[in-house]
Structure 1
Amino acid sequence: MHRRDFLRTMGATFAAGTLLAAARGVDAAAMTSAGTTKLDAAAYRRRRRYARLPCGDIAYLDHGSGPAALFLHGFPLNSFQWRGAIERLSLQRRCIAPDWMGLGYTRVAAGQSVAPAAQAAMLAALLDALGIDAVDVVANDSGGAIAQLFVTRYPQRVRTLLLTNCDVENDSPPAALLPVIEMSRRGEFVDRWLAPWLADKALARSAQGIGGMCYQYPEHPSDEAIDYYLAPLCADGQKPLVHAYALGLAPNPLAGIEAALRRCTVPTRILWGTADDIFSQASPDYLQRTLANPRGVRRIPGAKLFFPEEYPDLIAEEARHLWATS
């Protein structure tokens, strides 16, 4: 094909894609080079949906097509944590990313528990509501603890499991989280930590903020991510639920799970940031020798707890490989 004909063909293809995007209500300027939607905060907010369940109105993203993948976020984040990975994986998977009860934009029913066991039950109800039988699970932080509860209670609903830095039975809750739990017991955590970070983005990214504690690179989290994560948690009506979420992490929600994990034949890949000083660096090896069908450990040098937000290409690469070989 001559170069002029090639360029004409490519231009027509792009125009057709732009028209299709417009017909679907997608901003063509927000399309990535791969043809998927760029999930900045504005796009994520527009795409947020709610599933009305007995436990509350569960906020979630439903993006992409193919077999379903379920993305489980950390504390005190919400599903926006997975935006980069979802952008990259939405051509292979229907990506479902809920906000936990007590975090993000989920509206919790009165009297509803937000402890990890209740969160696992919520996931099953959400998948039922969406007509999804089985998922590939990708999880981080306390989302990893809930993922372990989910896979041992509903093993037939999980095809594969990709775990990043998270709780394990002998490190849950980690010692570094105990001050947060104690502040939450006194009803002070949001006002003492989260509200100042929301008001001062530089503080949030400092060594004393969530950035220095949980991210490798000093530009993270971005201003829009801080707003998207923390603004709903600092609302007066939401603060007790945030504290309840933290209190649900103690006593150990994974106590006694090891025997069930030893019977768990779901293919499980483990990714672990080596600079995380919240969860033990011995935990990935514990998981590798405990699970019945481990697929190895990959350590990410210098990465901290919330590295999945900073390494979306790595998450996508590992997820694709796990899915293709399981």
Structure 2
Amino acid sequence: MPFNRLPLGSLSRRLALPALPAAFAAALMLSGCTAGQQDTLFEKAIELGRDAAHLTLHSADVGDVEMRYLERPGTGPTLLLLHGFSANKDTWLKFAAELPENYHLIIPDLAGHGDTPAPVNEDYNLIRQAERLHALLEKNGTQAVHIAGNSMGGAISAIFATRYPQQVLSLTLIDAAGVDAPNQSDYFKALAEGKNPLIATDEDSFEYRWNFVMSQPPALPWPLRPAVVRKTLAREGINREIFSDMMATKDELTASNFEQQLSENATMPALIIWGAEDRVLDVSSVEVFKQKLPQAQVKIYPGIGHLPMVEIPHETATLMSDFIAGVE
């Protein structure tokens, strides 16, 4: 059945979201779904996804920006989840819905991503991003967290654990940036040729990016796909600024011998999760992180790309909750 003939309940199941209201289905049938309706439908799908995970939207002044974040109260462990470059807090929705219901979840949009605007100084240095998270936890009244990050968010998690180890109960790195892999990935080969597959500039490059970062991408059918494409393309300019600061941070970390600092300071329990088919950050990065974090448990998923928590949310959430249960 073509996507444009899928019942809305079927579309929602493919996205692992609750069934969407019949009013939206009627609007689609009567109007053919304009761009504005596609955007509205996408926002409704996100809202329902947040509701399914019992997450609500909050904000906090962290000094140079008003940070927006999702939170779910709970009497169990507190888990801080950090998204990657050009992503946002909603990357974690399916994963969050699979975690134990008593978990206290804090899922921010890093500065310049999602609903958090550009900071006043337009500084996207990853060390500064970690400092903002420290301020967020202070405003939130949270003393200590289990921190987990993907890609750029993984690098920020490692930086946070190195600078504020007393606040970190455990560290989980999911296809994380922050170290130099022994084997060059397809992504770094593309960068060497002057291309950046993570920054979409048109619909074709969006499609390439979608399949580049994931080996098992979730279904994103019409009419949600056009809305996601528009939102992604609108970020091209700010993504280039953030990427520039991210690469400058990489040089700064290398100059400051960050890997040695990680070994010395990040002595808390650790978990390393990776997709064996990651084309962005090669799986050989695991060897380096394991050398710096000898206490870390390691799980490599065959057939999975750069976003395990999106591609296999149930498996990764179960793995992490079992790991945290062992720490607690």
TM-score (norm 2): 0.74
Superposed counterparts of 1:216-231, under 5 Å: 216-217=215-216, 219-220=218-219, 231=230
- Distance of 1:293 and 1:283 partners within structure 2: 16
**CA shift digits 1:182-209 (9 cap, x unpaired):** 678xxxx99xx53524xx7xx744xxx2
2:141 pairs, out of 122, 131, 139, with: 131
Change (3 A) 1:218 1:270: closer
Conserved in 1, the CA contact under 8 Å of 2:179 and 2:289? Answer: no
Which residue does 1:260 correspond to in 2? Answer: 261
2:80 pairs, out of 67, 70, 76, with: 70
Which residue does 2:302 correspond to in 1? Answer: 301
Counterpart of 1:259, as a letter, is Q
Change (3 A) 1:244 1:180: farther
* 1:269 equivalenced with 2:280 (yes/no): no
- Distance of 2:123 and 2:144 partners within structure 1: 25
Superposed counterparts of 1:59-208, under 5 Å: 59-66=68-75, 67-89=77-99, 91-171=101-181, 176-177=187-188, 193-197=199-203, 204-205=206-207
- Distance of 2:99 and 2:303 partners within structure 1: 24
Change (3 A) 1:72 1:177: farther
Aligned-pair CA distance for 1:245: 1.0
Q: Pairwise CA RMSD of aligned residues?
A: 3.2
Change (3 A) 1:210 1:183: closer
- Distance of 1:213 and 1:73 partners within structure 2: 17
- Distance of 1:90 and 1:204 partners within structure 2: 34
Q: Unmatched 5+ residue regions in structure 1?
A: 1-27, 31-38
Superposed counterparts of 1:244-255, under 5 Å: 244-251=241-248, 252=250, 253-255=252-254
Q: Percent identity?
A: 23
Aligned-pair CA distance for 1:168: 3.3
Counterpart of 2:258, as a letter, is I
Which residue does 1:243 correspond to in 2? Answer: 240
Conserved in 2, the CA contact under 8 Å of 1:58 and 1:99? Answer: yes
Q: Which moved more, 1:306-315 or 1:127-136?
A: 306-315
**CA shift digits 1:20-51 (9 cap, x unpaired):** xxxxxxxx979xxxxxxxx9412357832222
SS in 2 for 1:278: coil
SS in 1 for 2:180: helix
**CA shift digits 1:230-276 (9 cap, x unpaired):** 655544xx654322211112132532111112122110011110011
Which residue does 2:8 correspond to in 1? Answer: none
Which residue does 1:213 correspond to in 2? Answer: 212
Change (3 A) 1:171 1:289: closer
- Distance of 1:166 and 1:221 partners within structure 2: 25
Aligned-pair CA distance for 1:280: 2.1
Conserved in 2, the CA contact under 8 Å of 1:114 and 1:245? Answer: yes
TM-score (norm 1): 0.74
Change (3 A) 1:307 1:160: same
**CA shift digits 1:142-184 (9 cap, x unpaired):** 1111111110000011101111112132249967257569678
- Distance of 1:319 and 1:140 partners within structure 2: 13
Paired positions, count = 276
Q: Which moved more, 1:83-92 or 1:301-310?
A: 83-92
SS in 2 for 1:139: strand
Which residue does 1:50 correspond to in 2? Answer: 59
Change (3 A) 1:99 1:177: farther
Change (3 A) 1:316 1:286: same
- Distance of 1:167 and 1:107 partners within structure 2: 23
Which residue does 1:8 correspond to in 2? Answer: none
